[in-house]
Amino acid sequence: MQAAIPGDMQAKKEKNERIERAVQRVITGEKEAYELIIQEFERQMYTYCYYILKDHQETEDAVQEIFIRAYENLNSYKRKVSFSSWLYKVAYNHLMNMKKKHNRWLKLVDEYKHHKPVVQESSYTTVIEELMEYLTPEERHILLLKAVEQYTFEEIAIIMNTRSATLRKKYERLRRKLIEQTIKGGQLHGQTAQPFS
Amino acid sequence: MDKQPNPFPDQQLEELEQRIRNTPMPRNSMSREVMNQIGGTNMNKQRNGSTILKRTITAASIAAVMGAGAVGSGFISPTMASALKQIPGIGSMFYGLNSDEIQKAVDQGILTQPLKQITKDGVTLTLTNVLYDGTRLSYTIERAGEHLPQAVVSPYIPMDSEIISGDKEWKKSRQVPEQQQEKGYVTSPKAFINKKELKAFSSFGDDIGNSNAVFVEYTSLGSLPNEFELTVRAKVTRVDEPFEFKVPVKISDNKLVIQPNETKSYENFSYTLQKIESTVTNTRLILESTGEVPATSEQTGKYAPTMMYYEIVDDQGKVLNQRQLGFFHRAPDLEYQVDELYDAISPNAKSVKIKPYTFTVNTDNWSIAGEKLDEKGRVLSSGHKTYIKELEIDVPVKITP
């Protein structure tokens, strides 16, 4: 819908500087400034985690743990990369380390409750989730990181600890897959996003 | 858009990415919950005994495992008891208790199922799973009705609240005057104890066991009586009148309070053990300390002792886990008021021992000597502890049968 325009680059630069300032405030002891950082990133972080985990409760837990982990390791943040990509690297690692949700607790609840809770998806997310089904887990991360924060391939490479050339190829592949699907399937619902479904 | 093959597939991909980017977050900001988990002052690392997952599943999970309906009249088998203990959150609440003791805790009124229902304007709310054990209060509100939004928790931010930063589009979509809000979301409820508003740290969010419910939990309650009337007032968007539930809450007078008022000193440090409160589910330690923390020969140069921590061991050999262990990136203060929660004392214990200790900290980076984390960053070992035997205190306790 819109290609990257020069105004976007400027806005992105200003946002990064604002974030760096907030980060410095936190590092020098102003704990409350971290709340600004959470509010700045949480919606996109939620989106990223949700399309990977596909469960709202797990996503909520993951997002909170990511912010806590990032805070605890804030002293190890060096300005070689943008804070944003550093934060998403924490997120990516956290998501990669999460075990699948076949844990004891759920099994127990199922046993005693005799039925699984019915989770209804909102129509807003279903279209996206359906298309994501055609991608490998790795491709999902690539697509999501590009979508939520509009990272460059260099930035995504840092987050996913891989080479940007490899990433470019993988992105091309996923792009072809998705285009194939949308052509096959008729069309992608093209209305502009509504805030609530 | 019309149903026609799009000649510009790249555009569709851009649209998909934009659509992803515009996905709404189906709840209000998590910043308070995160900030409270972080806690402390000056960038400390707080190793919480429970993760967020544990905190949000206690009451709902108990009801899920035990089944809905009046609890306390049912029998808890040993299998159920051990199953209960596996569940994080509940497990820590019933830790160290066998099934008879868990039954006793339930009989003591810790969990009540009022199942009270109120309908207004096509929306029905039900209050369930009221859990109170003397230190924590929580409950669940279920919502039912036709043509209600899928999410239960209100996504709206009050018009007069100020949110610094965050993208404006998102903020605009959340700060909506009531007339324009969607009907049927549950907003953060208020609780009253004997008609007086309860002001305590609370968390409010989706109920993990029930996609049609919200879960509310209050900690840091101060001192509440064993018997009171709980009023829960919940507001639903676009429904004029609030939903008000009244539930009598009563737990047995089983809190054991010991006031040793004993002081121990060593070198320049001294502390006075003021109070130990013991219930079936936890132990509370209250003391005051003054003076400089004693240092061993290893705690010199760039290494230093941390503030004084207190371990509790009962005469059955059980080490009571401290619920929260806070670390600070600075030298200890000279005075402390300690008020900490630990696991419950073993039921047949006749005494406990208070064992003060310090960790050793590297003052270059405030890391704790001996701290071990697993690959997920979870604590395997808090660090190497230096106990100070001269400061130990033995306290006789008597648990009511």
CA atoms of A34 and A40, how far apart (whole Å): 10
Looking at the complex, report in whole angstroms how far the Cα of residue B380 sits from the nearest Cα belonging to chain A: 16
β partners of residue B312:
B320, B354
Residues of A in contact with B168 (CB under 8 A): none
SS3 content of chain B, % helix, strand, coil (to 5): 20, 35, 45
Q: pTM above the 0.80 mark?
A: no
A-B C-beta contacts closer than 8 Å: 196
Q: What is the CA radius of gyration of chain B?
A: 25
Angle of CA points B331, A34, B305, to nearest 5°: 15
Q: Which residues 35-74 of B have a C-beta within 8 angstroms of A?
A: 35, 37-38, 40-43, 45, 51-53, 56-57, 61, 64-67
H or E element, residue B205: strand B201-207
The minimal CB distance from A128 to the residues B20, B57, B210 is found for: B20
Which among B5, B37, B182 has the least Cβ separation from residue A196? B182
Longest dimension (CA), chain A: 58
* ipTM here: 0.76
Cα–Cα distance measured from residue B94 to residue B81, given in angstroms and rounded to the nearest whole number:
9
pLDDT 10s digits, B10-25? 677 787 888 888 887 8
- State whether B64 and A56 contact (CB < 8 Å): no
Strand, helix or coil for residue A108: helix
B140-173: b (≥16 Cβ within 10 Å) or e: bbbbebeebbebbbbbbbeeeeebebbeeebbeb
For residue A39, how many C-alpha atoms fall within 13 Å in the half-sphere facing its CB? Answer: 21
B20 touches chain A (CB under 8 A): yes
Asked if B61 lies within 8 A of A144 by C-beta distance, the reply is: no
Nearest by CB to A108, from B24, B65, B150: name it: B65
Q: So what's the pLDDT on residue B114?
A: 75
Helices (H), B145-292: 168-174
pLDDT band at B331 (very low <50, low <70, confident <90, very high): confident
Nearest CB partner across the interface for A112, out of B67, B149, B173 = B67
CB contact under 8 Å between A38 and B30, yes or no, is: yes
Strand partners, B145: B123
Residues B224-251 have pLDDT tens digits of: 888 899 999 999 999 999 999 999 988 7
**Cβ-proximal residues to A13 (8 Å cutoff; 6+ apart), any chain:** none
Nearest CA in chain B to A111: B65
**Could you list the pLDDT tens digit for every one of the 197 residues in chain A?**
334 455 667 777 788 888 888 998 888 888 888 998 998 899 999 999 998 888 788 888 899 999 998 998 888 887 778 899 999 999 998 888 774 433 434 444 444 443 333 333 445 666 788 788 888 888 999 999 999 988 889 889 989 988 988 999 898 888 888 877 766 554 443 332 223 22
Question: Is B188 within 8 Å of B155 (Cβ atoms)?
Answer: no
Q: Which residue has the tokens 């039921």?
A: B347
pLDDT of residue A86: 92
User: What is the average pLDDT value for chain B, to the nearest integer?
Assistant: 75
B-contacting residues in A 83-122 (Cβ below 8 Å): 94, 97, 104-105, 108-109, 112-113, 117-120, 122
Minimal C-alpha gap between A89 and chain B (Å): 14
Token couple for A42: 């949480």
Provide the 8-state DSSP code for A75. Answer: G
pLDDT number for residue B378: 58
Identify all chain A residues contacting B45, using CB atoms and an 8 Å cutoff. 72
For residues B306, B309, B311, B312, the Cα torsion angle rounded to the nearest 10 degrees is 170
Q: How far is A38 from chain B (nearest CA, A)?
A: 6
Please report the pLDDT score of residue B36 as a whole number: 83
